[in-house]
């Protein structure tokens, strides 16, 4: 027998990662419950009257570490602790479950679905189907013992051929997979009120409130004050419960309910209607024909085409066309990012579907279900938002910790003083605990959220909606903002300005100028039956080549929806110019009113009476679009295969391609590309025009049904090669009217503006110059990287670009050949880098040392893919920037989520693509967001300082004067007056002040522990203490002064009334009013204090009431507050004078000494001289300032650089197929085999779509040998149990289960 090894020491345990390399990567540590620790912990819990258990409720990971010991994954661990990238820790119980008790005694009928090989004497049959798993944020993780980690339940790599030939699952296979993957549901439960009440009441804030109320009522008889605070607590608790319920209901309504769908059962050989919750990966389902039908899961389209509305996920209102998988790419491994055009995502809705010829239905294979889907990920991002690492928030915790430390010191001090005074033990305990409620104000958390709540309300009035309110304060610290170009800085609509056709002799023909009749069109839709608004272009048609006109009429992804042509604005404008008709086949494959159709889309020219038309009506032929290779931002092109239906000649099967000029030209035959291609392209892009290249290729074969079937088997690589270049479409993408003023305001505010776009480099540079991102003093350098080869490594070239003056005619960008002259000019100008996406990828790979400098000075990033946009935002954040991102929500989703503050321009009221969604379709929302963010941040700063000053003032008066000397404290109504009438109302109206009308050049401070705020509080407290001491001593020096009768003000009804307490109470009331006034700063971040009418009225009321009390004009008021008023009017006047002097001195100290001298002069000087610079981008900036000879400029022309980029782009695209082949070969060599619909990668037949067990992974499914009938009742019970575990474990609310399990 093998001897069991002892557990290694804690330090020897290796850190294991979950989801390694993904966004949700976490460290995982295993724990096993120790009976000894468990007993000790529960004894401590009982002795502490369950207070320790309450702490464990707040920090469940502490509980797990207290009752369990660290162990290896295979040592029967029953706890797992996860630590994410934000250093948050989560503790979850590990559950082990057997498939079915009915199968436990029949090994022959059971095949391991998820086998856990563990040493267990209690389980002698490890071959049974066992799951060891836990849930984290609604995702299920299953233990892989060989890797000693947990893995998400997911489908292994699949080939496209296996997906295309999938025949679905049998009923038994479906049940087995459902047992592994769980329900296909995204459940957001509306929590019962009683549970919400208990959960919210156990919040630390409300627990502290309850402790304070009990202390005030039981120990100090503050019944009125405790009653008012209790009432406010109940109102606050009820408001939070109502808000939580409303949010849950709204989210549940947004998510919707999945209905039934039709699934193909291979064992029954028929379509069966099942509930959508029962879907599992591998199911083949029908795409519903109903309009606006929601997709219940992520599925891969295997037949037919669909037009989808993905606005819920991306915020993009333009319909998206999804096409079926291509049979020609059978050996390619399915990749969700690369093949997203074939995926229907959960939560999106079907606008229209088109069946493939020969198919009865549009169908797809289920890929992901439940919370693993794209919709599930977005719902999880709402339920579990990413914590915001913001310095202000972190410093606020430090401040609270400092106050708690001060309270601890005060408690020790109070015990000593009370003991020396001979007070009773009961009184000492009560006074000591009461000090905690004085130093740490219970209303602090509520007060801190007031500014954010009012800022969110003002943003909503500006049509900016927020799903992450805590991000608003972060917006006040933004110092870099990234913008997408198309649809964000520029209009969505395009004007077709010119067509430049290629001539057969290898040159360009004369420019066909369309600008005279061009009108700026809308970016929405145009009626199919009404294209007469394009008749002004029709006289140009006779000048167009037939191929160019047909390319414009067919090479698009438009769709006919309810009689309206919808699609991309560029496609709409291009097709509108042709003045052709657009028709679609109906669901039965018939053209409306005609016979069977071979093509789903047919376009034909309108009958023309123009004698100059090159195509007279007698020879007009309609064109059918047989196949679409949809546009991809990564590929930068799209293609269509067409045929002319009036003829069956071989050349009538034609491929048309359009896309970025660099990409299209790389696929064309060199002899068809004009020699002056680069110069003509640069002449257009340098003026900011958007240029689209057209190309075509005549395909061999006749347009017959067999040929059409063969077309559908062609790969994209086979079609998009050896093209004939046709020419350019030149379009104007105008700047929005708000763009230039917004960029100008951001530049004044010293906020970096960065353009990151998928468009052409020179077009982006021109737009950046026009909108003001690049100024006249900026010198632009294009950083271009050459591709490495066998004989030479990669090189980086720094190419200076001579930017044209905006006032002159923009003809072209040129490179100044005199490098030395350029070097001298660069010394006195600012360098701005421009980088393409291709060079960015090579920089990250070969020259990472230059990346910080390029990111620091980079202004234009062109031809960037969505992933590269996200990488740029991450690089900016790594340099210490607070980054904002503004985009249209389509290709910018990753960057919008990664940025500190992402704002999506969308028509949706709330898009889950970013924290903020603006219904203003322009970038003016950026200014509103920054202004509100700065105002909210400064408001939070002021409120925090005010609440800290309020608590420290009461602490000083209690510890230094009242308890040790006077021997009494304030009365019940005095606390009511100060805390509720003065402090609470002032804090509430404090937040009403809106943002300043302009953005200041200097952002507000974000650190509470910096010199300025600390100095501000110290000066304020010093002045407060000085005034209190002066007033107290001056009162005792008066001839009418009477000593307090007793040290214990609670011995009789009138002994608590004395002159000392009265004067100190009146002085502190005026000090609270003074602090509220000086901390309510206006310019430059908030509006003037006089704009806040409510705050002014509140100040007036509080000041008037306090002055009336000082002059004792209302004797009943003094009686109610238990005040002993001074008998002389002269003394009252002196008190008023002291308060006025204190106000003016405090105001001068705050406004001039702190804000001017300390914050603007002393603090920056000390930061430079004493403290090391912590912000990385400032260090990089200093390095660049000390290296004036960097970068070494290359003596290359712009044409050479663009040619190098073009050649590299072509080479990169040509390597794409090789990379996919290599990926497939790696998958074949992997121990995990992929079997889909009976076709394995190694050629072995298998009768079902399944995932075989891998040697390296225990999370596998083998369904081919499963010949069993699963008991439905047993399965439903297990499924319900799993769902219950998911809900409890995921929300960290299974503390009752912890207690039950432990006991």
- pLDDT for the residue 100: 53
- 484 has catalytic annotation: yes
Candidates 1105, 1058, 832; CA nearest to 961 is 1058
Burial of residue 808 (number of CB atoms within 10 Å: 0-12, 13-18, 19+): exposed
Banded pLDDT at 1283 (limits 50, 70, 90): low
Distance between CA atoms of residues 302 and 365, nearest Å: 7
| pLDDT the model gives residue 515 | 63
Confidence of residue 1104 (pLDDT cuts 50, 70, 90): very high
Percentage of the chain lying above the pLDDT 90 cut: 13
Q: What is the pLDDT of residue 1206?
A: 59
DSSP for residue 1055: T
Q: What is the edge-to-edge ordering of all strands in the sheet holding 883-887?
A: 464-466, 916-918, 901-905, 883-887, 480-483, 752-756, 858-862, 830-836, 778-785, 796-801
pLDDT per residue over 706-719, tens digit each? 656 667 677 788 88
The lowest-confidence range among 14-18, 475-479, 515-519, 1098-1102 is 515-519
pLDDT attached to residue 58: 86
What whole-number distance in Å separates Cα of residue 103 and Cα of residue 532? 72
Q: Is the pLDDT of residue 1290 over 70?
A: no
Omega before 993 cis (within 30°)? Answer: no
DSSP H or E segment with residue 1146: helix 1129-1148
Reported in sequence order, the residue ranges of 323-458 that DSSP labels E, i.e. its strands, are 343-344, 349-354, 363-368
Between residues 447 and 1271, which one has the greater pLDDT? 447
- Quote the DSSP letter at residue 121: S
**Radius of gyration (Cα) for the chain, nearest Å?**
36
Alpha-carbon span 722 to 669, nearest angstrom: 5
Write down the pLDDT at residue 716: 81
Residue 28 has pLDDT above 60, yes or no: yes
- Asked if the model's pLDDT at residue 7 lies above 60, the reply is no
User: If you average pLDDT over every residue of the chain, what do you get?
Assistant: 75
Q: How would DSSP label each residue in 352-369?
A: EEEPPTT-SS-EEEEEE-
Looking at per-residue confidence, does 359 or 283 come out higher? 283
Give the residue-averaged pLDDT of 671-680.
87
Phi, psi of 554 (to 5 degrees): -120, -30
What token pair was written down for 813? Answer: 């960008």
pLDDT the model gives residue 1273 = 39
CA 331 from centroid of its chain's CA atoms: 35
Of 895 and 1200, the structure prediction assigns the larger pLDDT to 895
More confident residue, 683 or 1279: 683
Tokens of 1197: 């022309």
C-alpha pair distances (Å), 244 with each of 200, 349, 442 = 10, 28, 22
> Distance (Å, rounded) from C-alpha 766 to C-alpha 771?
9
Asked if 1036 contacts 971 with a C-beta cutoff of 8 angstroms, the reply is no
Give the Cβ contact number of residue 1129 at 10 Å. 10
Facing residues of 1245 across strands? 1239
Per-residue model confidence as pLDDT tens digits over 443-495: 777 777 788 888 989 998 988 988 778 889 899 999 999 998 878 888 866 77
Distances (CA, A) of 399 to 387, 405, 408, 1017: 19, 10, 14, 12
Other Cβ atoms less than 10 A from the Cβ of 484: the count is: 27
Instruction: Say what the pLDDT of residue 1050 is.
Output: 43
Nearest to residue 906, comparing CAs of 894, 892, 889, 923?
A: 889
Write out the two tokens for 708: 């059409």
Residue 329 — very low, low, confident or very high, per pLDDT cuts 50/70/90?
low
Which pLDDT belongs to residue 853?
A: 92
What local confidence, expressed as pLDDT, does residue 786 receive?
79
Instruction: Kindly state the tokens that stand for 627.
Output: 């196949």
Which tokens belong to 17?
């990662």
DSSP E strand boundaries for 866-908: 883-887, 901-905
Torsions phi, psi for 588 (to 5 deg): -95, 5
pLDDT for 1169 equals 67
pLDDT category of residue 1215 using cuts at 50, 70 and 90: very low
234: nearest Cα among 218, 220, 213, 261: 213
Which of 502-516, 806-820, 1162-1176 has the weakest average pLDDT?
Answer: 806-820
Residue-wise pLDDT for 108-129, tens only, equals 333 333 333 323 333 333 333 5
Of the given ranges (64-68, 187-191, 330-334, 584-588), which has the lowest mean pLDDT?
584-588
Residue 1232's pLDDT is 30
Dihedral of the alpha carbons of 21, 26, 32, 37, in degrees to the nearest 10: 160
Give 1296's pLDDT tier (boundaries 50, 70, 90). Answer: very low
Give the span between the Cα atoms of 805 and 720, in whole angstroms.
Answer: 39
652 DSSP β-pair partners:
none
What's the pLDDT score for residue 330?
A: 62
pLDDT for 561 equals 76
pLDDT tens-digit map of 126-161: 333 577 888 888 888 887 766 667 888 888 788 888
**Tens-digit pLDDT profile for residues 596-630:** 344 678 888 877 555 555 444 434 578 888 888 87
User: Which is nearest to 456 in space by CA: 448, 444, 447, 466?
Assistant: 466
DSSP E strands: which ranges in 126-254?
Answer: 130-136, 139-144, 149-152
**Which of 61, 395, 434, 484 does the annotation list as catalytic?**
484
Q: Give the span between the Cα atoms of 952 and 441, in whole angstroms.
A: 10
Lowest-pLDDT choice from 198-207, 602-611, 721-730, 1109-1118: 602-611
Q: What is the pLDDT of residue 357?
A: 65
Confidence of residue 1242 (pLDDT cuts 50, 70, 90): very low
Token couple for 1266: 């499963």
What percent of the chain is modeled with pLDDT above 70?
74
With a cut of 60, say whether residue 221 has pLDDT above it: yes
Concatenating the DSSP letter of every residue in 763-821 gives HHHHHHHHHTSS-TTEEEEEEEEPPP-SSS---EEEEEEBPPPTTS-----B--S-HHH
Supply 299's token pair: 């599925």
Residue with tokens 């632009």: 780
Report the alpha-carbon angle 1050-1051-1053, nearest 5.
75
pLDDT at 702 (0 to 100)? 53
CB 333 within 8 A of CB 158: yes
The three-state DSSP-derived secondary structure of 624-681 is EEEEEEEEECCCCEEEEEEEECCCCCHHHEEEEEEECHHHHHHCECHHHCCCCHHHHH
Average pLDDT (300-304) is 87
Contacts of 368 (CB under 8 A, 6+ apart): 154, 155, 281, 297, 298, 346, 374, 376
Distance CA 661, CA 685 (A): 11
**Is the pLDDT at 735 greater than 50, yes or no?**
yes
What is the residue-wise DSSP string for 904-956?
Answer: EE-SSSS-TTSSEEESSSSTHHHHHHHHHHHHHHHHHHHHHHHHHHHHHHHHH
Query: Model confidence at 1022, in pLDDT bands (50, 70, 90)?
Result: very high
- Per-residue pLDDT for 498 more than 90? no
pLDDT range class, residue 694, cuts 50, 70, 90: very high
Q: Predicted confidence band at 437 (pLDDT cuts at 50, 70, 90)?
A: confident
Q: How many helices (H) and strands (E) does the chain have?
A: 41, 44
What does the pLDDT read at residue 295? 86
> Comparing C-alpha atoms, which of 512, 408, 382 is closest to residue 915?
382
């Amino acid at each position: 027998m093998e001897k069991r090894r002892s557990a290694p020491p804690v330090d020897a345990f290796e850190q294991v990662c979950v989801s390694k390399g993904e966004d949700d990567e976490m460290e995982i540590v295993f724990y096993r419950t120790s009976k000894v620790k468990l007993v000790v912990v529960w004894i401590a819990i009982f002795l502490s009257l369950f207070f320790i258990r309450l702490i464990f409720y707040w920090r469940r990971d502490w509980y797990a570490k207290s009752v369990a010991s660290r162990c290896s994954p295979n040592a029967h661990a029953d706890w797992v602790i996860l630590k994410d990238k934000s250093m948050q820790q989560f503790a979850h119980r590990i559950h082990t479950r057997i498939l079915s008790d009915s199968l436990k005694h029949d090994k022959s009928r059971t095949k391991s679905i998820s086998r856990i090989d563990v040493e267990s004497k209690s389980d002698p049959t490890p071959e049974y189907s066992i799951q060891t798993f836990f849930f984290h944020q609604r995702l299920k993780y299953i233990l892989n013992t060989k890797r000693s980690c947990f893995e998400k339940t997911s489908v292994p790599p699949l080939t496209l051929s296996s997906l295309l030939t999938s025949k679905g699952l049998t009923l038994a296979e479906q049940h087995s997979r459902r047992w592994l993957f769980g329900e296909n549901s995204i459940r957001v439960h509306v929590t019962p009120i009683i549970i919400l009440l208990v959960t919210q009441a156990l919040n630390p804030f409300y627990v502290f409130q309850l402790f304070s109320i009990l202390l005030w009522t039981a120990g100090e008889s503050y019944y009125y004050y405790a009653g008012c605070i209790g009432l406010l607590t109940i109102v606050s608790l009820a408001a939070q419960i109502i808000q939580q319920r409303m949010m849950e209901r709204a989210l549940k309504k947004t998510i919707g309910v999945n209905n039934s769908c039709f699934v193909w059962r291979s064992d029954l050989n028929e379509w069966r209607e099942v509930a959508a919750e029962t879907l599992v990966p591998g199911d083949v389902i029908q795409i519903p024909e109903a309009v606006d039908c929601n997709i219940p899961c992520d599925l891969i389209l295997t037949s037919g085409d669909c037009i989808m509305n993905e606005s819920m996920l991306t915020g993009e209102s333009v319909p998206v066309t999804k096409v079926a998988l291509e049979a020609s790419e059978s050996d390619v491994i399915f990749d969700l990012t690369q093949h997203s055009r074939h995926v229907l995502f959960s939560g999106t809705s079907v606008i229209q579907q088109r069946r493939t010829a020969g198919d009865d239905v549009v169908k797809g294979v289920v890929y992901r279900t439940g919370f693993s889907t794209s919709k599930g990920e977005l719902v999880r991002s709402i339920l579990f938002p990413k914590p915001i690492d913001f310095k202000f928030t972190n410093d606020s915790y430090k401040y609270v910790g400092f106050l708690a430390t001060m309270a601890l010191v005060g408690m020790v001090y109070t015990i000593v003083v009370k003991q020396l005074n001979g007070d009773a033990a009961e009184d000492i305990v009560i006074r000591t605990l009461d000090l905690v409620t004085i130093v740490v104000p219970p209303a602090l958390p509520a007060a801190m959220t007031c500014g954010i709540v009012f800022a969110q309300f003002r943003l909503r009035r500006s049509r900016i909606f927020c799903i992450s309110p805590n991000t608003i304060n972060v917006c006040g610290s933004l110092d870099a903002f990234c913008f997408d170009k198309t649809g964000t800085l520029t209009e969505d609509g395009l004007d077709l300005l010119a067509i430049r056709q290629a001539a057969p002799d290898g040159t360009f023909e004369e420019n066909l100028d369309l600008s005279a009749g061009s009108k700026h069109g809308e970016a929405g839709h145009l009626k199919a039956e009404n294209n007469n608004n394009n008749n002004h272009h029709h006289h140009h048609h006779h000048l167009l080549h037939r191929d160019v006109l047909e390319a414009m009429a067919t090479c698009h992804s438009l769709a006919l929806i309810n009689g309206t042509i919808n699609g991309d604005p560029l496609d709409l404008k291009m097709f509108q110019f042709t003045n052709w008709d657009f028709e679609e086949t109906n669901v039965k494959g018939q053209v409306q009113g005609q016979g069977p159709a071979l093509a789903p889309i047919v376009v034909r020219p309108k009958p023309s009476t123009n004698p100059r038309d090159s195509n007279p009506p007698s020879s007009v032929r309609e064109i059918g679009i047989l196949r679409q290779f949809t546009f991809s931002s990564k590929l930068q092109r799209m293609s269509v295969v067409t045929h002319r239906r009036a003829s069956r000649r071989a050349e009538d099967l034609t491929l048309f391609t359009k896309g970025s000029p660099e990409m299209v030209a790389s696929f064309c035959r060199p002899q068809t590309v004009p020699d002056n291609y680069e110069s003509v392209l640069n002449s257009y892009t340098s003026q900011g025009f958007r240029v689209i290249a057209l190309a075509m290729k005549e395909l061999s074969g006749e347009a017959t049904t067999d040929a059409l079937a063969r077309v559908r088997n062609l790969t994209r690589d086979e079609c998009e090669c050896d093209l004939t270049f046709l020419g350019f479409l030149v379009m104007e993408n105008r700047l929005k009217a708000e763009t230039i003023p917004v960029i100008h305001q951001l530049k004044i505010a010293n906020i970096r503006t960065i353009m990151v776009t998928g468009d052409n480099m020179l077009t982006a540079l021109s737009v950046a110059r026009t909108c003001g991102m690049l100024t006249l003093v900026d010198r632009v350098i294009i950083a271009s990287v050459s591709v490495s080869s066998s004989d030479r490594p990669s090189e980086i070239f720094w190419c200076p670009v001579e930017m044209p003056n905006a006032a002159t005619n923009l003809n072209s960008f040129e490179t100044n050949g005199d490098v030395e002259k350029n070097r001298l000019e660069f010394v006195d100008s600012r360098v701005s880098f421009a980088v393409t996406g291709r060079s960015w990828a090579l920089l990250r790979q070969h020259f990472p040392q230059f990346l910080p400098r390029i990111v620091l000075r980079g202004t234009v990033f062109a031809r960037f893919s969505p992933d590269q946009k996200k990488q740029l935002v991450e690089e900016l954040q790594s340099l210490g920037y607070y980054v904002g991102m503004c985009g249209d929500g389509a290709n910018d989703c990753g960057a919008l989520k990664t940025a500190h503050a992402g704002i999506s321009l969308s028509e949706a009221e709330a898009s889950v693509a970013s924290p903020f969604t603006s219904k203003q379709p322009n970038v003016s929302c950026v200014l509103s967001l920054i202004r509100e963010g700065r105002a909210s941040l400064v408001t939070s700063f002021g409120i925090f300082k005010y609440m800290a000053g309020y608590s420290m003032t009461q602490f000083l008066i209690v510890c230094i004067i009242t308890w040790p000397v006077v021997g009494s404290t304030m009365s019940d109504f005095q606390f009511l007056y100060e805390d509720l009438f003065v402090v609470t109302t002032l804090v509430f109206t404090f937040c009403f002040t809106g943002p300043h009308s302009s953005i200041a050049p200097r952002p507000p401070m974000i650190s509470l522990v910096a010199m300025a705020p600390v100095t501000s509080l110290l000066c304020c407290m010093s002045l407060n203490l000085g005034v209190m001491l002066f007033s107290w001593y001056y009162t005792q020096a008066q001839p009418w002064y009477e000593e307090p009768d007793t040290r214990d003000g609670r011995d009789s009804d009138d002994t608590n009334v004395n002159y000392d307490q009265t004067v100190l109470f009146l002085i502190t009331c005026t000090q609270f009013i003074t602090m509220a006034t000086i901390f309510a700063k206006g310019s430059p971040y908030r509006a003037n204090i006089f704009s806040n009418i409510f705050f002014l009225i509140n100040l007036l009321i509080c000041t008037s009431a306090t002055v009336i009390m000082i002059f004792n004009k209302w004797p009943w008021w003094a009686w109610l507050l238990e005040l002993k008023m001074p008998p002389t009017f002269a003394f009252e006047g002196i008190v008023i004078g002291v308060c006025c002097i204190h106000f003016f001195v405090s105001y001068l100290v705050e406004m001039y000494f702190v804000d001017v001298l300390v914050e603007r002069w002393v603090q920056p000087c000390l930061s430079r001289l004493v403290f090391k610079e912590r912000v990385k981008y400032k260090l990089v900036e200093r390095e660049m300032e000390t290296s004036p000879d960097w970068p070494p400029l290359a003596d290359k022309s712009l044409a050479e650089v663009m040619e190098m980029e073009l050649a590299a782009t072509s080479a990169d695209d040509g390597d794409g197929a090789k990379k996919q082949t290599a990926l497939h070969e790696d998958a074949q060599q992997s121990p995990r085999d992929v079997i889909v619909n009976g076709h394995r990668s190694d050629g072995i037949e298998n009768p079902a779509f399944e995932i075989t067990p891998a040697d390296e992974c225990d999370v596998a499914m083998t369904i081919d040998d499963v010949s069993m009938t699963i008991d439905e009742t047993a399965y439903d019970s297990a499924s319900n149990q799993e769902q219950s575990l998911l809900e409890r474990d995921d929300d960290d609310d299974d503390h009752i289960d912890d207690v039950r399990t432990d006991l």
